[in-house]
Amino acid sequence: MPKILDSINSPSDLKSIDGSSLSELAAEIREEMVSRVTANGGHLASSLGVVELTIALHRVFDCPKDKIVWDVGHQSYAHKLITGRREQFSTLRQYGGLSGFTCRDESPYDAFTTGHASTSISAAIGMASARDIAEESFHVIAVIGDGAITGGMALEALNHAGHLGKRLIVILNDNGMSISPTVGAMSRLFSRVRFDRRYYQASEKSKRLLSRFSMGKHFWNFGQKIKGSLKKIIMPTTLWEEFGFAYSGPIDGHNINEIIQALEKAKNYTHKPALIHLVTTKGKGYAPAEIDAVNFHGISPKGSPKKNGSGQKVPSYSQVFAETVEMMAKGNPKIAVITAAMPDGYGLGHMQSVMPDRIFDVGICEQHAVTFAAGLAAQGMTPIVAIYSTFLQRAFDQIIHDVALPKLPVVFALDRGGIVGEDGKTHQGIFDLSYLSLIPNMIVASPKDENELQHLLYTATLCGSPMAVRYPRGTGIGVELEHELKEIPIGSAETLRTGDNAAILATGPSVSAALAASERLSERGYRVAVINMRFVKPLDEQLILDVARETKNIISVEENVLSGGLGSQIASLLHRSDVRGVHLKCLGIPDEFVSHGTQAELRSLYHLDANGIQTEVQRFIEANRLMKLDLISSHV
Ligand SMILES: Cc1ncc(C[n+]2csc(CCOP(=O)(O)OP(=O)(O)O)c2C)c(N)n1
Ligand SMILES: CC(=O)[C@@H](O)[C@H](O)COP(=O)(O)O
Ligand SMILES: [Mg+2]
């Protein structure tokens, strides 16, 4: 039987189908998402939860003239399917394929480029303000989850929106979940509204009462008063109305007709922003995701786990981080861990269950997380801030002003440093070595393997300065984990292989790739040293200058932008040390955003895998040899 979805090539096709077929369409969209995402990986549960909302939005509004801003954008799969990208949907998150988030370059229906949380309301107010200045008349709708709305930016934006009083619709998609269950006082308030049957009943009763009183203005006012006092009994403050929004909810977010009615009503608020509170189920319609929304938030394509030399499963860097931190916290009562809504990504579930008072999940609030950690450190604690490399960008000033300037000993554990893969441009952790190294008092380290990760974390808790340890997404390289934690001298590099033709100075996961490249080069007669630059700041200056003088050919390798990273710091060292006749080649990410694809594909693209490094080093040595020969012959 032909599918309704196959006939939807744009939102106008959706508008032309009969209202009674919309539930069937929702089921088809879910089927398509489940089959593709379980095969290729991606963010499944969030997208499943907003299928009815997406259909309702595209029925009621006229995109791309009207603007829908999806917060984070990880829930936009149904939107992509409806807005002309159905045929490319199988390429989602693959190299050259569709992005996993909304992206202005990808489609005119993607009003805003997203990936990081809590931006939607700010962007939507900006669009609404531009519209009003230009005297245009489209609608702007921000769709934000109960997790993302706890982010500082969202709260700042609500404050601004209430002040401006512009026409704008905010849809709160409340499913009780961030990646893990949503935390915080706001989420407590939402769950009271969600689960308090009295509120539903009270609002139903007040609706009936109001309809009776609707004959005259006097009665209408009286009815509003009753409604107001009922709300006050159940919700101590009518939060949204106090913020200056017209509030409607809670609404069943899986009932298309109810959503459509609420949207139609919200369209008519012309001098005030409107907020619609939808209650949805994360993972809706796919039992495994409804039961386990945490693990179905984002899923990987099926793959077999990597094994180490003795056939055991190789742990991920995140697992090693979590085990090390828990072990250190057991022996040191000063250690506390702070996560910004990512306990699962960091593997902190076990520690949360056995030491709940030593882990603080602050919600999607990276800026607050950092200054909160500074407060802990100011009182003698040793806080470990566990924030992915890309999300820590949010807290740049907090790192400088609240941590580094007073030299508070805060440990930053940056998971997902370097190339992360399928999440793409918004999520690659390729700026951290630069943005952290430029900050005075900051120590920046990156382990060559999972064993060194645990030692560097231990070192960070002892060093008495702010220190960042950045490590990659995925499994370790399969080395044995030493049982005793060791302190590594700050700023010390490590020579892993000697050689006098060239020296590769690599950091993080690039070290093992450099070792493999050097081994292959030795088979071709090249003697190439490999140095593990486990500290990017401070650099082991003496070792670098020694190998530079000996080999004359230095190649730096890092999964970071070239600007301000390891290579540029080595260049600056060579320059200020006045070392003559040394050639330097820097491998890393050029001045561009790195798209989505597998980590292997992207490393290969930027010549950051063993093959790429081998080719680059060989070419570099040969070019410099030729140059030397040229110089000699021109002198003869
Ligand atoms: C600044 C930032 N911090 C953390 C994340 C990681 N993250 C992505 S989605 C998400 C949960 C969002 O929850 P919610 O907004 O309620 O959406 P839901 O998945 O429940 O639909 C988190 C923590 C992010 N994308 N951006
Ligand atoms: C949408 C988002 O920001 C997160 O879900 C992120 O994709 C998680 O990344 P990991 O899968 O690497 O934990
Ligand atoms: Mg949510």
pLDDT digits (tens, 9 = 90+) for 508-518: 999 999 999 99
Residue-wise pLDDT for 488-502, tens only, equals: 999 999 999 999 999
The pLDDT of residue 217 is: 42
Distance, CA 318 to ligand 1 centroid (Å)?
A: 19
SS3 307: strand
The pLDDT of residue 1 is: 79
The pLDDT of residue 210 is: 44
Q: What is the percent of the chain where pLDDT is above 90?
A: 84
Nearest ligand to the C-alpha of residue 283? Answer: 1
The pLDDT of residue 606 is: 98
Nearest ligand to the C-alpha of residue 46? Answer: 1
The pLDDT of residue 302 is: 72
pLDDT at 468 over 70: yes
HEC string for 497-531: ECCCCEEEEECCCHHHHHHHHHHHHHHCCCCEEEE
pLDDT at 359 over 80: yes
Nearest ligand to the C-alpha of residue 364? Answer: 1
pLDDT at 204 over 60: no
CA 143, 199, 144: angle at the middle one, nearest 5?
10
Single out the catalytic residue among 59, 80, 227, 282: 282
What average pLDDT does the segment 150-177 reach? Answer: 95
- Mean pLDDT, the chain, integer: 92
Q: Which of 74, 27, 58 is nearest to 284 (CA)?
A: 27
CATH code of the region 495-635? 3.40.50.920
What average pLDDT does the segment 32-42 reach? Answer: 94
pTM of the model: 0.93
SS3 494: strand
What average pLDDT does the segment 394-402 reach? Answer: 98
CATH 3.40.50.970 in the chain is located at 5-195+243-291, 317-470
The pLDDT of residue 391 is: 98
pLDDT at 224 over 70: no
Residue-wise pLDDT for 555-602, tens only, equals: 999 999 999 999 999 999 999 998 989 999 999 999 999 999 999 999
The pLDDT of residue 201 is: 47
pLDDT at 436 over 60: yes
Return the residue whose CA atom lies nearest to atom 1 of ligand 2: 74
Pairing mode of beta strands 494-497, 528-532: antiparallel
The pLDDT of residue 226 is: 46
The pLDDT of residue 208 is: 47
Main-chain dihedrals φ then ψ at residue 54, nearest 5 degrees: -65, -45
- Asked whether the beta carbons of 423 and 514 are under 8 A apart, the reply is no
Main-chain dihedrals φ then ψ at residue 149, nearest 5 degrees: -70, -15
What average pLDDT does the segment 386-403 reach? Answer: 98
Residue predicted with more confidence, 552 or 221? 552
- Asked whether the beta carbons of 145 and 178 are under 8 A apart, the reply is yes
The pLDDT of residue 147 is: 96
Residue-wise pLDDT for 235-282, tens only, equals: 544 778 888 999 998 999 999 999 999 999 999 998 899 999 999 999
Query: Is the CB of 180 within 6 Å of ligand 1?
Result: no
Residue-wise pLDDT for 286-326, tens only, equals: 999 999 999 999 998 775 667 776 778 999 999 999 999 99
Per-residue confidence band for 222, with pLDDT thresholds at 50, 70 and 90: very low
- Asked whether the beta carbons of 471 and 417 are under 8 A apart, the reply is yes
Peptide bond before residue 538 is cis, with ω within 30 degrees of 0? yes
Distance, CA 138 to ligand 1 centroid (Å)?
A: 28
pLDDT at 153 over 70: yes
The pLDDT of residue 495 is: 98
- Rounded distance, CA 292 to CA 4, Å? 29
Joined tokens for residue 307: 């094994």
Question: Which of the listed residues 47, 72, 149 should we mutate to test ligand 1's pocket, taking the one with most ligand atoms within 8 A of CB?
Answer: 72
pLDDT at 530 over 70: yes
Per-residue confidence band for 138, with pLDDT thresholds at 50, 70 and 90: very high
Answer CATH for 5-195+243-291 from 3.40.190.10, 3.40.50.720, 3.40.50.970, 3.40.430.10: 3.40.50.970
pLDDT at 376 over 80: yes
Per-residue confidence band for 527, with pLDDT thresholds at 50, 70 and 90: very high
The pLDDT of residue 195 is: 65
pLDDT at 438 over 60: yes
The pLDDT of residue 626 is: 75
Residue predicted with more confidence, 113 or 212? 113
Superfamily name with CATH number, domain 317-470: Thiamin diphosphate (ThDP)-binding fold, Pyr/PP domains (3.40.50.970)
Residue-wise pLDDT for 94-107, tens only, equals: 999 999 999 999 99
Active site residue 366: yes
Q: What is the percent of the chain where pLDDT is above 70?
A: 91
Query: What residue ranges line ligand 2, CB within 6 angstroms?
Result: 43, 72, 74, 179, 297-298, 345, 416, 420, 423, 473
What average pLDDT does the segment 607-617 reach? Answer: 98
Q: Please say whether the dihedral angle defined by the alpha carbons of residues 541, 546, 549 and 555, taken in this order, is positive or negative.
A: negative
**99-108, 127-136, 196-205 — which is least confidently predicted?**
196-205
pLDDT at 635 over 60: no
- Rounded distance, CA 514 to CA 74, Å? 35
Q: Which residue positions form the known binding site?
A: 74, 115-117, 146-148, 175, 286, 366
Return all residues near 429 (Cβ < 8 A) that are at least 6 apart.
Answer: 388, 389, 390, 414, 416, 417, 418, 419, 420, 470, 473, 559
Question: Which of the listed residues 390, 427, 596, 599 should we mutate to test ligand 2's pocket, taking the one with most ligand atoms within 8 A of CB?
Answer: 427
The pLDDT of residue 304 is: 64
Per-residue confidence band for 182, with pLDDT thresholds at 50, 70 and 90: confident
pLDDT at 212 over 50: no
Q: What is the ipTM of this complex?
A: 0.99
Joined tokens for residue 274: 């409107």
Active site residue 207: no
pLDDT at 211 over 60: no
Query: Is the CB of 280 within 6 Å of ligand 1?
Result: no
Query: Is the CB of 447 within 6 Å of ligand 1?
Result: no
CATH 3.40.50.920 in the chain is located at 495-635
Active site residue 307: no
